[in-house]
Chain A
Amino acid sequence: MKRDPHLQNVVSRMASGLLSRDGFLGDDPRRLEEILDADNSAVVGLGVTHEALAATLEGIFEKARAGLGTPVPIGGRHVAVHHEAMGRIPCPWGRCGVFPKGEVELADTATGEAIRFTALSIHMIAEHGFYQGRGSRYRLEPAALALFPPAGSTPAGG
């Protein structure tokens, strides 16, 4: 199917080995438009917005960053650690500027499950509704995210 040349540029920039080693599409066989539409549907179905989910992540990110690498408790049962990385990475949409590298790992102390996100992945959720392809290190499922501490409310942890 045909594609908007601007979106084609975005998809090319998401390929592995260009901006980051593994790219942003993981091993997802779906086209970018399908991924965006499916995640958008999921978010609308949950009754939240991309911006609200991103804002929750942003709050956790800032708390973790202040910990300078030491684990920071979030809410009752989560712990966040910021792993630094030097350098900046641009948004594949190409018109949004560059973002500091470095990831935050948010782990559930009860189950041991963890999600990871970066300044760039938060931006892509807020501005483009992009949660990355399945198989990507920073892929976030909107359904899981909406539970993980309460999205849409004040930044978690209190």
Chain B
Amino acid sequence: MGTVLLAALVSGATSGILAVLLVVAERYLADYGTCVVDINGGSKRLEVQGGKTLLATLMQEGIFIPSACGGRGTCAYCKVKVREGGPPVAPTETALLAAADLAASVRLSCQVKVRNGLAIEIPESLFLVKQFTGVVERIRDLTHDIKGLRIRLVDPPAIEFTPGQYVQLETPVYGDNPEPVYRAYSIASPPSDREHVELIVRLAPGGICTTWVFTLLKEGDTIRFNGPHGEFRLSDTDAEMVWIAGGSGMAPFWSIARHMREKGIQRKATYFFGAVKPRDLFLVDELRQLEKELPSFRFVPALSGAEGDGWDGEKGLITDVVGRHVEGGAAKEGYLCGSGGMIDASVKVLVAKGVPQERIYYDKFT
């Protein structure tokens, strides 16, 4: 009997001592206290509870660093310059950051844990990025695989942006998906329509976001996004412009063109839109109408695979069509929106026609 009690006492005491030791260690080791995050050399100072990632911490404070993967360290969108106080670089970061980034103290904010005071630098434009909630007012089929969304903003009720910018659309959890994901979509509506945002979404096979938009999203549903993001916009000059786009790349140009019509911007622009078959074209009537109202604007749709379809417009690859129409590019500017392949080919043809490389603008989404 005595041995049993003694045994119980000793095992209890040993386990107890170890448990206390672990709890004390956890409180001491895992508690990072209050940390000060200094932004842009003191222009903003945040006092935050340490222990979370920089991305999550900033998001809590209302600063939205772009992120497509929700902080899992796989998209490399959330780059932030951490000038001081950053922890050692994690293996997940070395994979996605170029040597130049690391040399300049650029880090992935979703992998940087706030354990002490930090001094960071972020572009001023990020302070204007807000989280928006809206209601889907209209879903329109533009082609067999492209839909147009018209969203009425609820909170905040209005948005300010420069035509050409994009938003990060939140795809909520559905089916077996464990977390929301974010995808970038250019705003297709003009800034004058402050209470609405229009997006053009093209179905991608096996796409998390586009599957949701095409099969689950209904008019009247709540929808969330943050923005505006992006540097793609008209330049300050008056130079003649060559626009090249295909598929959902129409979006920023639809915003810019309508903006130009409203403001009476008479700057000369030729919009080359490339597709394969006639059924891939959309907004053609609206753009022809815009041509009438804005004489400096010209719309040139081109199809590359329309033999025998009764198409009498421009034929061939969009880059070949551009090559036929554009000459003397030294004083012109290029604006591109589309996939990587289209952008590479377009840059090549524009440079060959004399457009200076630094005057060709695009957001490279791929």
In the complex, A68 has a CB within 8 A of chain B: yes
Q: By CB atoms of chain B within 10 A, which of A68, A71, A82 has the most?
A: A68
Would you call A87 and B365 a contact (CB within 8 A)? yes
A96 to B248, CA, bound (A): 28
Q: Give min CB distance, B263 to chain A, whole Å.
A: 28
Would you call A87 and B68 a contact (CB within 8 A)? yes
Would you call B206 and A98 a contact (CB within 8 A)? no
Would you call B345 and A68 a contact (CB within 8 A)? yes
A60 to B7, CA, bound (A): 73
A127 to B340, CA, bound (A): 22
- Given contact pairs A68-B246, A68-B342, A84-B341, A94 touches B73 in the complex (Cβ within 8 A): yes
Would you call A69 and B366 a contact (CB within 8 A)? no
Size bin of chain B's contact surface: 35 or more
- Given contact pairs A17-B177, A70-B276, A97 touches B206 in the complex (Cβ within 8 A): no
In the complex, B183 has a CB within 8 A of chain A: yes
Interface positions, chain A 32-52, Cβ under 8 Å from B, are none
Interface positions, chain A 104-145, Cβ under 8 Å from B, are 137
Would you call B204 and A95 a contact (CB within 8 A)? no
Would you call B366 and A20 a contact (CB within 8 A)? no
Would you call A100 and B211 a contact (CB within 8 A)? no
* Residues of A within 8 A of B (CB-CB), count: 34
Q: Give min CB distance, B72 to chain A, whole Å.
A: 8
Would you call B366 and A96 a contact (CB within 8 A)? no
Query: B266-299: contact bitstring with A at CB < 8 Å (1 yes, 0 no)?
Result: 0000000011100000000000000000000000
Would you call A86 and B177 a contact (CB within 8 A)? no
Query: B198-240: contact bitstring with A at CB < 8 Å (1 yes, 0 no)?
Result: 0000101111100100000000000000000000000000000
Query: A75-92: contact bitstring with B at CB < 8 Å (1 yes, 0 no)?
Result: 000000011111110100
Would you call B204 and A69 a contact (CB within 8 A)? no
Would you call B208 and A84 a contact (CB within 8 A)? no
Would you call A17 and B74 a contact (CB within 8 A)? no
In the complex, B26 has a CB within 8 A of chain A: no
In the complex, B184 has a CB within 8 A of chain A: yes
Stretch at the interface among B27-35, B88-96, B126-134: B88-96
Would you call A85 and B204 a contact (CB within 8 A)? yes
Would you call B205 and A98 a contact (CB within 8 A)? no
Would you call B305 and A84 a contact (CB within 8 A)? no
A69 to B275, CA, bound (A): 8
Query: In the complex, given contacts A19-B74, A70-B304, A101-B366, what are 15 additional A-B residue pairs having Cβ atoms less than 8 angstroms apart?
Result: A15-B176, A21-B206, A21-B211, A68-B318, A68-B341, A69-B305, A86-B184, A86-B339, A86-B365, A87-B365, A94-B95, A95-B95, A98-B96, A100-B340, A137-B206
